[in-house]
Structure 1
Amino acid sequence: MSSWTLAAIEQAFFEAWSADTCMPEELPAWSVRNPARGQCGPTSLVLCEILGGDLVRADVHHTGVRIGGHYWNRLPTGLDIDLTRCQFDADEVVGVGWVVAPPEGMRPGRCVEQWELLRYRVFTALGLPLTPSTSALT
């Protein structure tokens, strides 16, 4: 079993994010200046697979109007890790989160290509094995 620092894991994700791993509905807001934009869903699934714990979801509001959702991770110790929180502007408010059930097999129901590419890049950077049954990119 390998071990990493949280900084090393965060760096692996930061280097893996791209327009190709962004959720399609967030692509117009994605930029190299804000690479975390639209990455929360795939990132939280991949991080949960690596570290365990729970997925947490919350609504995001802009001037009091719900504009979307946001995902992050809660480790078994109770510590929340949100690698993509930096994607939000000051006027975008992330609400109180609640634990949600992960999709079966940690495989998302939509945007599978974005998740697979992000997973491939992060697992490769961290030296984790990829199996054909879990990723189409291997």
Structure 2
Amino acid sequence: MTKNEQMLAALQQSWSIETSSKWTKDNPAAGQCGVTALVVSDWLGGEILKTQLPDGWHYYNRIEGIRCDFTASQFSAKIPYSDTPSSREEAFTDTNERQYECLKEKVAAAHN
């Protein structure tokens, strides 16, 4: 299993209503993009990118030059990526400290 596959598995185990108010059992990645981009950045480094979508900014990562969007499954349509450079500060506008700390702890536990 690659690092990215391990990360996706850990995220899928960790997403919950505690990590995004938009989470649902049918769409666990919903609303998780900002908080996920932050936690992925903590674990795997790389850059945080964003793309403007009808409902606002969508955040994801570029790791070792490759786009890694761990929350793309929340959307039914194909994402028209612009790969606009972003930052931790901007990604934090999509989440809050409580959600971030919760996801960070759950991902760490899932990795052990």
TM, length-normalised to structure 2: 0.86
5 Å-filtered alignment, 1:91-110, equals: 93-103=79-89, 108=92
RMSD of aligned Cα (Å): 2.2
Q: Is the 8 A contact 1:56 1:99 kept in 2?
A: yes
Q: Does 1:59 align with 2:52?
A: yes
Provide the TM-score with structure 1 as the length reference.
Answer: 0.71
Segments of 5+ residues of structure 2 without an aligned counterpart are none
Percent identity between the two aligned chains: 31
| Partner residue of 2:100 out of 107, 115, 134 | 115
Offset from partner CA, 1:97-138 (integer Å, 9 cap, x none): 2111223xx9x36511111100000012113xxxxxxxxxxx
* Distance (Å, rounded) in 2 between the aligned partners of 1:12 and 1:95: 24
The residue aligned with 1:33 is 26
**Which of the two has higher C-alpha Rg?**
1
User: Contact 1:21 / 1:118 at 8 angstroms: preserved in 2?
Assistant: yes
Q: Deviations over 1:53-93 (max 9, x none)?
A: 100011112xxxxx211000001x21010000110122x75
Large movers: runs of 4+ above 2 Å: 92-95
Answer yes or no: is the 8 Å Cα contact 2:13–2:110 preserved in 1. Answer: no
